[in-house]
Amino acid sequence: MAKRLITDADVRGKRVLCRCDFNVPMADGEITDDTRIRAALPTTTWLLDHDARLILCSHLGRPKGKVVKKLSLAPVAKRLSQLLDRKVPLADGVVGKQVRKEVDKLGKGDALLLENLRFEPGEEANDPAFAQKLADLCDIYVNDAFGAAHRAHASTEGVARLVPSYIGFLMTKEIETLSRLREAPEPPYLAIVGGAKVSDKLDVLTELVTQVDALLIGGGMANTFLLAQGKEVGKSLVERDQVDNARGVIERARNREVDLGLPTDVVVAPDIDGPPTIKPVDDVRPNEAIYDIGPETARVFADRIRQARTIFWNGPLGVAEQDQFAHGTSVVAEAVAKADGFTVIGGGDSVAAIEALDLADRIDHISTGGGASLEFLEGKTLPGVAAIPDAGEDGS
């Protein structure tokens, strides 16, 4: 069922609290990637153009309920002001009398950014009293933070049940796109899953193997699958307590005749700083560690990607932040970008690879929600979505 969209609301002159995901990467107080801020622009611009008195809010990092100066949203307010071509001041806190005064000064088409929500201990605890303080600031609530929709926090779930609530354009696009993957993917449907640990993505692997026609596995998690096949993985990152689970995924893939792709050659080194060597998986020595899929595996993965009509990719295929171990991820990124099928990418490292190669405009949908997109594909209920009334409901 579709959720109520902001276009269903009369926002003119109303105080609108809009939950965004401005949890952007930072270095030395500067934003290094503003993708998530730009992704929120369609919703924020629409609200401002329709004379809302806009109160933006987000978390940044994990300050654990305390004020941490380096996690202030001041750089975000600055970048928002540039992108929106209007002043977006940072509030003096999240809630309280001073913040209320700043909200009361907002005119139609004005915007204010609250300070980091996680400076308040009530945010992650979904404290009803804190949720009520957020609700007291606004007449209408909009959730456009898909990246935080899997968290039942005060700003994503609690406040949504206290005032008339809607979703924004980014949230709508995420739900529609990921629903297409779950409900009506054009076959053949191929998923590429990388990253460090099987334990982090076991649930999505278990679910995907019941939906896809092909599943390609790389990154550190592939080592656990190789170990499950009886391969020597040497000093590689591996989760020995997940070997039985990996065998379970392999068995389910076999029973469903899913094409399960694992590395047949790998890039190894004595350590992360050591000289890389390419070799078949059967030749890995006990004193070596696997850091990337090999060129033959990358070529095979690229061929399979080209044949797919629906493609989902989450997670790097090697230690991609190191140039000597980034080849597999780069080959896969280029293959996904060139594919004729419908392409969806989620997860920060995968998105970073696409951005670094300047291929983002060739991807049909880049999800802003790493964990949220995985939980959605697993079929889990996202609290931030469930709290919004369905389209057609009054919900006030």
Q: What are phi and psi of 19, to 5 degrees?
A: -80, 115
Spatial neighbors of 247 by CB under 8 A, at least 6 apart, are 228
Q: How far apart are CA 375 and CA 371, in angstroms?
A: 6
Note whether 378 and 207 are within 8 A (CB).
yes
Q: Is the peptide bond before 188 cis (omega within 30 degrees of 0)?
A: yes
Q: How far is CA 205 from CA 220, 356, 369, in A?
A: 14, 27, 17
Active site residues: 36, 197, 348, 371
To the nearest 10 degrees (0 to 180), the angle between helices 41-49 and 169-183 is: 140
Tell which residue, 32, 117, 8, has the closest CA to residue 68.
117
Q: Which residues contact 304 (CB under 8 A, 6 or more apart)?
A: 190, 214, 216, 259, 261
